Each structure stands twice: as structure tokens, then as C-alpha cells.
Structure 1
Amino acid sequence: MRKLKEFPAIETERLILSQLKEEDLPFVTEYLQDKIFSDVTSNIPYPYTGEHARFWMKMSWESFENNTGYTFAVRNKEGQILGAIGLHDRDDDKAELGYWMGKPFWNKGYITEAATALIDFGFNELQINKIYATYFLDNPASGRIMEKIGMEKEALLKQHLKKDGKYIDVMMYSILKNK
């Protein structure tokens, strides 16, 4: 993953993707209170506390400093955080795409718009060759987003994650820089 000196801001038609800020913490904590986020992700606990949000933000800043990832706040044009999206280095010129969106902003195409911009950023700015993402099988909406942004189904990863003492199958999608 190519190292950038400063954290970038990416603008799309309706959104601004930018670095997380301290003032985002109360919104992140509020958005992630719903148990649905814990149910459909591997790394969002329930209940979600301000301490979790602070730790996540610290880790996102460190991943940028260490050149292992970029976690962007997904904002509307007024600057309000709606969710987050990131690319995280997995060596060999590939990165994992991950995202979440606050429930009031679901079904508006925001993640599709942000992910499209982030894939372009990953291929063109970071010189990544492959971007992949996974989703829990009981979250097919995430799979539809992956298809909309040009990813193709790659594999069913059986018992790939362990959450709350249970092994979980996930579907993996990917997109290559040069198809």
C-alpha cells in the first residue's frame, strides 16, 4: 500500500470522505447502539460504548500512521458523519474493504457511492491490485452493495470467523485493478 503524507479527503456527488475527528465520537457511539451492527459485523460489540468508539478512532489513526489502513468518516456535504468506510492492508498489494452506515441513512445509496470512490482511491492512489470484502450470510444487503460496486463473488469461507462462541460462514467478494 502506497504511503500518503497526509490523510486525504475524497469528495463524491453527495458525500465527503475524510479523517475521523474527536467530535464524531458521540455520533459513532449513538449510531452503533443498535444490536443489528453487532449481529452483522465481526468487530462491532454490543452494547457499544464511548470507550469502544475512542479505541476504534485511535486504531484508525494508528493504521494511517503505520500505513496499514485508511478509515474514512462518510459525511454529508454539511460535514455530519453518517457512517464509516475503510481499506485495510492485507499484504501482497491487496486490501480489505469494510463499512457501516448509521441506520437513519440506510437505503439511500451512500455506501455504494462511498465504496465506489474508495475503490478508485485504492487502485489509483494506493496502487492496490485487489480489493475484497466479506459479509455475513444473514446480511445479503451488504452483498448487493458489493455487486453494485463491481465486485464479483469469489468464495464462501466456511466457519471463517468466530463470534460469540459460534463459527460463522462469510461470503467473499473482490475486484481487481486490471480485470
Structure 2
Amino acid sequence: MNDFPKLETERLILDKITMDDIPQIVAYLQNKVFSDHTSNIPHPYRKEDAEFWLKLSAEAFKNRKGFTFAIRDKKGKLLGAIGLHDEGSDKAELGYWMGIPNWNKGYVTEAAKAIIDYGFRELNFNKIFATYFQYNPASGKVLGKIGMKKEALLKQHLKKNGKYYDIPMYSIFKEDID
């Protein structure tokens, strides 16, 4: 697999993030809510952060360890991003973000369903899981809508701003969709 895959859903195109996307990525991720609600998006978010992320994403794809897709509308406008990151043992972690103007429109749910299907059918994962901060219940609702079930509460799993957080982990298995 040398060419980055392109997936289509009813309303979306999921494809490679490019350098042309950097201004929009920075514009979306400038909002502190992304830093507050994720474990790995810094604030302030700068052009250099986006360039570094694209470099890491390209390396991960080349090594078949990460598959980070742009979420675009059918006209090609970047709305957010979603990806699967190979954690070994035939499992992957699902992660995503969506630009605030695009919240509450079902885009993440639609994209995540396509990515999960791709992960099981094309990448042969057995398990796909995701975690979120409990103070971001919208993310937990998305996980439920895509068929994931709560598997565990990881006690004091992440440290952010000097505080430890319990993190829910949701999972779906290949056998759940076959």
C-alpha cells in the first residue's frame, strides 16, 4: 500500500492530509478547547505544530503504523481529521478532532464508521479502541453511536496540567461487525 487510501461516505471524503491543509488545521486548532479536550494537541497551536503532525502522520503511514485521514465535505473543504494508530497485537486506537463550526452535524460519527470498517476489512485489525476525557461527554456519545462499548475505566491514566484523570476506554471487535 503505497498510495494513501481515499474513502467516501454519503456526505464525506476521507483522504490524505496535505501541506495545503495546514492553514485550515491551524485555524481550527487555535481554539483552546482542543488542548483542553485532548491529550496531545498543544495550545497555542502553531503552523510548526501542524507541520510536525503531518510529518509524523506521513512516517506512520509509510511504516503502516498510522492512518490519519482528512475529513472533507464533498467539495473538498477540510472539516477535521480522524485516524487509526496501530498499537500492535492486531489492535488500533481511534482518534479524531472536528473543527468547531462542524460540530453536532454527525460528521465524526459518519467518518468513524467508515474508518472502523476500513480498519477491520482492509487493515485486518481485531480490535479498535478509543479513550476520552470524561468531561467531554460528546466524544463518549460518538463512541456509542459507532457501536463501541465501554470496556474499562482506566484509573488515573492520564496526567494533564498536574492533575490525574480517569479515562473511559471503549472498544469494538471485528466479530461485532462481521
Please indicate the TM-score interval, normalised by the length of the shorter structure. Answer: over 0.9
Residues 62-87 of structure 1 show CA distances to partners (whole Å, capped at 9, x for unaligned) of 10011111000000001111000000
For 1:132 and 1:8, the matched residues in 2 are separated by 21
- Output the TM-score relative to the length of structure 1: 0.97
Does the CA contact (< 8 Å) of 2:149 and 2:172 recur in 1? Answer: yes
Q: Which has the higher contact order (CA 8 A, sep 6+)?
A: 1
SS at 1:97 equivalent: strand
Residues 89-147 of structure 1 show CA distances to partners (whole Å, capped at 9, x for unaligned) of 00000000000000000000000000000000000000000000001000000000000
Q: What corresponds to 1:118 in structure 2?
A: 115
Identity rate, percent: 64
Moved over 6 A (4+): none
Which runs of structure 2 are paired with 1:79-118 in the superposition (5 Å)? 79-118=76-115
Aligned-residue CA RMSD (Å): 0.7
Unmatched segments (≥5 aa) in structure 2: none
For 2:2 and 2:59, the matched residues in 1 are separated by 14
| In the alignment, structure 1 residue 173 sits paired with structure 2 residue 170 | yes
| In the alignment, structure 1 residue 160 sits paired with structure 2 residue 139 | no
The residue type paired with residue 155 of structure 1 is A
SS at 2:132 equivalent: strand
1:151 offset after TM fit, Å? 0.2
Query: How many residue pairs end up in the alignment?
Result: 176
Which runs of structure 2 are paired with 1:13-162 in the superposition (5 Å)? 13-162=10-159
1:166 offset after TM fit, Å? 2.0
For 1:61 and 1:37, the matched residues in 2 are separated by 22
For 1:136 and 1:15, the matched residues in 2 are separated by 26
